[in-house]
């Protein structure tokens, strides 16, 4: 089911995500997906996240589709030119996939094949434009399609970026070319999120709050130093530092932040980063 249909019906939309394995053993990944069945509306499948080579997102989305689990197909511009990107979008449609998240992608220097040649023939904005063109029945070269796909197109934004104005300008461009919903980068400061939502309210597009589960104080410090657009306040780092049970504290923080910000937005996207089994506990604690 398209996420846009859920937003239009007034549902508070809940998504999470799973990273494909580095190999072809999908048993553990499918077990994690089953844990989320009935708890989330769709599961994002990451596309070579952090430029680490893994099983393809398209294949995993098809596996979930066969098990009647809705997914969000993440598609990045890093590894494909415009021919391959459009082809993968058509393939996704043939597989019955409806939700696509359009991303530019991380630099290859971050991953496990730093010698790889990045493509970046397109960026997230032009990828959205390409998907809209396909939906309208033509490729971006103007050639008519034999049967056209139908997608719900999403994009990302970082409300905690400093400065945030470039993020808002890019968000406006994405909406203009056809983005229908947004999932945010991790947000840990409700005040900043409220300010951001007030600044983008005129766009009239659903925004899903992003929450990354904090595994440790060290992870929080690492994100502050290395992940653009993310800031974990010292107060939360201190909480994680003092916690006797890091898992319990992480769940508590994620649920608390969700409850503090859920009235400001139209959904929440939980990014467990290897802690997929704890997503149901987060949702229970948040009353979702």
Mind listing the pLDDT tens digit for each residue in 29-46?
A: 999 999 999 999 999 999
How far apart CA 124 and CA 47 sit, in angstroms, is 14
Q: What local confidence, expressed as pLDDT, does residue 125 receive? A: 98
| CB-CB contact of 149 with 92 (8 Å) | yes
Task: Provide the β-strand partners of residue 209.
Answer: 268
Averaged pLDDT score across all residues of the chain:
97
270 contacts 282 by C-beta, under 8 angstroms: yes
Largest CA distance in the chain: 61
DSSP letters for 119-171: --SS-HHHHHHHHHHHHTTB-TTSPBPSS----EEEEEE-TT-SS-HHHHHHH
The distance in angstroms from the start CA to the end CA of the chain is 19
What 8-state DSSP symbol labels residue 117? P
What is the mean pLDDT of the segment spanning 20-29?
A: 97
How far is CA 187 from each of CA 20, 35, 63, 174, 270, rounded to the nearest angstrom?
A: 24, 24, 31, 20, 11
Sole residue written with tokens 């032009």: 126
Q: List the domains of the chain with CATH numbers.
A: 3-285 (3.20.20.220)
Determine the Cα–Cα distance for residues 5 and 184; give it in Å rounded to an integer: 19
**pLDDT tens digits for range 76-92:** 999 999 999 999 999 99
pTM for the full predicted model:
0.96
User: pLDDT of 236-280, one tens digit each?
Assistant: 999 999 999 999 999 999 999 999 999 999 999 999 999 999 999
Q: Using one digit for the tens of pLDDT, what is the confidence trace for 102-159?
A: 999 999 998 999 999 999 999 999 999 999 999 999 999 999 999 999 999 999 999 9
């Amino acid at each position: 089911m398209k996420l846009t249909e859920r937003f239009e019906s007034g549902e508070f939309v809940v998504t999470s995500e799973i990273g494909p394995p580095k190999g072809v053993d999908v048993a553990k990944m499918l077990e994690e997906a089953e844990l989320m069945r009935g708890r989330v509306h769709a599961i994002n499948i990451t596309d070579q996240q952090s430029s680490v080579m893994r099983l393809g997102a398209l294949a995993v989305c098809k596996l979930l589709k066969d098990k009647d689990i809705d997914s969000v197909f993440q598609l990045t511009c890093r590894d494909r030119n415009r021919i391959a990107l459009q082809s993968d979008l058509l393939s996704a449609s043939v597989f019955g996939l409806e939700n696509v998240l359009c991303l530019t992608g991380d630099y290859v220097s971050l991953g496990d094949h730093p010698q790889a040649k990045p493509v970046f023939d397109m960026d997230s904005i032009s990828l959205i434009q390409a998907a809209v063109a396909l939906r309208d029945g033509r490729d971006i070269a103007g050639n008519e399609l034999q049967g056209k796909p139908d997608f719900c197109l999403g994009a990302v934004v970082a409300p905690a970026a400093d400065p945030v104005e470039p993020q808002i300008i890019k968000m406006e461009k994405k909406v203009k070319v056809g983005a229908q919903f947004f999932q945010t980068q991790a947000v840990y400061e409700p005040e900043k999120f409220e300010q951001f939502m007030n600044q983008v309210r005129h766009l009239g597009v659903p925004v899903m709050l992003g929450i990354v589960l904090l595994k440790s104080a060290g992870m929080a410090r690492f994100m502050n130093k290395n992940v653009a657009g993310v800031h974990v306040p010292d107060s939360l780092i201190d909480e994680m530092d003092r916690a006797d049970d890091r898992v319990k504290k992480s769940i508590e923080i994620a649920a608390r932040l969700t409850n503090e910000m859920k009235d400001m937005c139209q959904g929440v996207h939980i990014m467990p980063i290897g802690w997929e089994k704890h997503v149901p506990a987060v949702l229970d604690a948040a009353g979702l």
